[in-house]
Amino acid sequence: MQDYPLIKSVIPLKSKRLKVRFDNGITKIYDCRPLLELPAFEALKEDAFFNNVQVDDPGYGIIWNDEVDLSEAELWVKGDADTYYPND
């Protein structure tokens, strides 16, 4: 099993994207829009819910609630290299 860097912080961005900073210093942008078609992630369509994202201590993923979460592996593998994305 491959080890992935842990998540240090997550910032919700417009257009259902997340700015994720890992403990190795790399920041990636993860696009949640493809998830919105899946029943398990339907709640992410609501901006207030989406913006309530938090790092799951100790950094093995991010969570919105007990039922909606993403692992550090998902965010690391499918995240894109960070270019300039304002935190609006």
The token duo for 45 is 């369509």
Domain boundaries along the sequence of the chain: 7-81
Cα(8)–Cα(24) distance, integer angstroms: 9
Task: Note the Cα 3 to chain centre separation in Å.
Answer: 18
CA distances 25 to 8, 65, 68, Å, are 9, 26, 26
> Residue with structure tokens 């300039």?
84
pLDDT by residue, tens only, the chain of 88 residues: 679 999 999 999 999 999 999 999 999 999 999 999 999 999 999 999 999 999 999 999 999 999 999 999 999 999 998 765 555 4
CATH superfamily of 7-81: NE0471-like N-terminal domain (3.30.2020.10)
